[in-house]
Amino acid sequence: MQASRLLSILMLLQGRGRVSAQALARELEVSVRTIYRDVDRLSASGVPIWADTGRNGGFQLREGWRTKLDGLTAPEAQAMFLAGLPGPAADLGLGEALASAQLKLRAALPPEWQDDAQRVGTRFHLDPVDWYRDAPPVDHLGVIARAVWQAERIAIRYDSWQGETPRRELEPLGLVLKAGIWYVIARSSAARPARTYRLQSILELQALGEPFKRPRSFDLAGYWRESTRRFEAELYRGEARLSVSARGLRLLTHDFSSAVAEAARRSAKPDPEREGWSQLRIPIESAEHAAGQLLRLGPDALVLGPKDLRERMVGLAARLAALYA
């Protein structure tokens, strides 16, 4: 652990220049005292580390000095080959670049690692698209990717759930691939919060070629985590009470959303009226939407409440019975 941390400190200083002890401690999840001890060990081993005091102080390597320990390890090389998804790379217009980079990476590895790293692609395959779905077309992905990379404004006309929106200019901050669907995170101005736009819903797109100042504090992964959490919290506005068989419980926890699955597992308790069944509570968007979803459970679920959802299920069951009569 200590050797790995010392190497990490060395790589951080080499890649970022001057870094404070506090920043190193946060990055490596250790105490500031531990960072000072590690820096002393590096200095004692001959690494030329300079320490600047003061408000903007920190540690840095002597100008022009570089370590020779920045080669890839065998597991790191395998991870690089595994992470190179050909589908998304091709969507972004980087298919040829990815293939070329992997060839160069393989050639740069020691002979005993080359076959092992290349073997990753023949043993593991990552498919980001959900079952029973094809990846939707991504006509504008290449243009948006360039705008994100170069921090240049775009103009779009968008088809939201409320209908088509007029032309709007945006500052694209990042791209996200979720379950085979591409999203762009963008804001209309520095004073406005970032929002999520589905690429498939962009009707028209124009690259304006106008640079914008990207916020240094923007964290794409953090934004996406908070955005999806908030979306799920706002999506489920009601609650349903169910009695389900053992099979119904398995279906709820495997085939429904993570929020529904977690609620089902957490609230399930034996049903005193039906042997082998469980009573539980799950979040729902609306009675209308929930009725369609719960029909997937067939005879393995009974809606106990609320009243409007139960009435919808009774009506759907009656219509099905009449249809099959």
95 and 51 share one domain: no
* Portion of the chain with pLDDT greater than 90, in percent: 41
In sequence order, which residues have a C-beta less than 8 Å from that of residue 312 and are 6 or more positions away?
Answer: 287, 288, 291
**Beta 163-164 vs 195-198: how paired, if at all?**
unpaired
Beta bridge partners of 171: 187
Confidence at residue 57, expressed as pLDDT on a 0 to 100 scale = 78
Give Cβ neighbours of residue 188 (< 8 Å, ≥ 6 apart).
168, 169, 170, 171
pTM for the full predicted model: 0.58
Give the range of the structural domain holding residue 151, as residue numbers without chain letter. Answer: 141-230
- pLDDT band (50, 70, 90) for residue 180: confident
Is the distance from CB of 242 to CB of 304 less than 8 angstroms? Answer: yes
Phi/psi-derived region of residue 132, left when phi > 0, alpha when psi is between -120 and 50, beta in every other case: left
Q: What is the pLDDT of residue 5?
A: 81
Tens-digit pLDDT profile for residues 231-259: 877 788 899 999 999 999 999 988 888 88
Average pLDDT over residues 212-217: 91
Mean pLDDT of the chain: 83
Claim to verify: residue 164 and residue 212 sit in the same structural domain: yes
User: Any idea which of 95-104, 237-246, 286-295 has the lowest mean pLDDT?
Assistant: 95-104
C-alpha to C-alpha distance for 325 and 322, rounded to whole angstroms: 5
Greatest extent of the chain over all pairs of C-alpha atoms, in Å: 87
Judgement on whether residues 80 and 114 belong to the same structural domain of the protein: yes
Q: How far apart are CA 276 and CA 280, in angstroms?
A: 13
Q: Among 213, 230, 247, which residue terminates a domain?
A: 230
Residue 216 shares a structural domain with residue 264:
no
Write down which residue in 209, 230, 251 finishes a domain.
230
Residue 27 has pLDDT above 70, yes or no: yes
